[in-house]
Amino acid sequence: MAPEPPPYFDALLERLATGDPETTAALSRHVHWGYWTDPDANPGTGADYAVAAEELCRRVCDAASVRDGMRVLDVGCGFGGTIASLNERFQNLDMTGVNIDARQLARAAAMVVPVNGNRAAWIEADACALPFTNEQFDVVLAVECVFHFPSRATFLAEAARVLKPGGRLALSDFVPSAEGLAALQKYDIGGPETRDSYGLVNVLCPEAEYRSLASAAGFAAPTFEDITPHTLPTYKFLRDIATRWQGNRATAYGRTTRRLEVSSRVGWLRYLIIGATRGV
């Protein structure tokens, strides 16, 4: 059975449809955590959030060493923010966004107008069953979506399969610290309230397991950069936004966001940028 889009996109699309200015400023391009160089200096506005989200996206793309002329696959592409950013900064890219949600893909196709000789295509598919032949892409990107996928092992195998030998994978993901894993299992971070708001969430794959999954899939020299402290202003902003959403789902969303925040602040959960090279 194909995975369902995360429920928070229903609430987000509703808020965007009302024209809510803070939601529109913050979340109509990128739908992920932000990166603040100085986490203490954040005004908490939607416009500031959008700048921080763009910075996080660029850091993931940097980990992939994107260059002009490449074929780039962005899985879990949301509203196309990562492809929009690449489109503005590079030339002659062949870019493909994949998502399980046709509504998000329609927004992405409307938002991204290719320039600089770039091309963009949008495909409805599961990142764990990619509809591409082998060795098609120079780069695979997955900005803050792997924790939603049915299986990290299957996604990594699929990413390796569609990458050319020597191609780069870069992603951002929530990874438990060695000491945080047991606590997160007890804390029920993927439980019913999470499923009702964030959808399928698995943040229980520690770095050692990630390394062995990447290696089994055929990736070499993985790098793990912990950017948690730079992402922390995300939480207050998202909790404030959730107070303007309607119904039970808003409560579940607010409480799940709070759980993720506490887990991150006490060091159980880390926000990592992960890069790896497909072996030749």
Ligand X SMILES: C[S@@+](CC[C@H](N)C(=O)[O-])C[C@H]1O[C@@H](n2cnc3c(N)ncnc32)[C@H](O)[C@@H]1O
Instruction: State in angstroms the smallest separation of the CB of 270 from ligand X.
Output: 17
Q: How many CB atoms lie within 10 A of CB 111?
A: 15
Using alpha carbons, select from 13, 27, 8, 245 the residue that is nearest to residue 106: 13
Q: Which of 23, 85, 87, 99: binder of ligand X (CB under 6 A)?
A: 99
Is 197 one of the binding residues for ligand X (CB under 6 A)? Answer: no
Question: Dihedral of CA 256/261/264/265: which sign?
Answer: negative
Count of residues engaged in binding ligand X, rule: CB under 6 A: 25
Q: Which of 11, 31, 242, 276: binder of ligand X (CB under 6 A)?
A: 31
Is 242 one of the binding residues for ligand X (CB under 6 A)? Answer: no
C-beta closer to ligand X: residue 13 or 183 = 13
**Would you report the helix, strand and coil content of the chain in percent, each value rounded to 5?**
45, 20, 35
Is 260 one of the binding residues for ligand X (CB under 6 A)? Answer: no
Q: How far apart are the first and last CA of the chain?
A: 33
C-beta closer to ligand X: residue 110 or 182 = 110
CA distance 53 to 35: 6
What ranges make up the beta strands (E) of the chain? 71-75, 94-99, 119-124, 137-143, 163-176, 219-226, 269-278
In this chain, which stretch among 15-23, 25-33, 130-138, 213-221 interacts with ligand X, using CB under 6 A? Answer: 25-33
Is 158 one of the binding residues for ligand X (CB under 6 A)? Answer: no
The CA angle 105-72-164, to the nearest 5 degrees, is 135
Is 218 one of the binding residues for ligand X (CB under 6 A)? Answer: no
Going residue by residue from 108 to 127, which x/- string records binding to ligand X, judged by CB under 6 A?
------------------xx
How many helices, marked H, and strands, marked E, lie in the chain? 12, 7
Going residue by residue from 57 to 96, which x/- string records binding to ligand X, judged by CB under 6 A?
------------------xxxx--xx--------------
Which residues are near ligand X by CB under 6 A? 3, 5-6, 30-32, 75-78, 81-82, 98-101, 104, 126-128, 143-145, 148-149
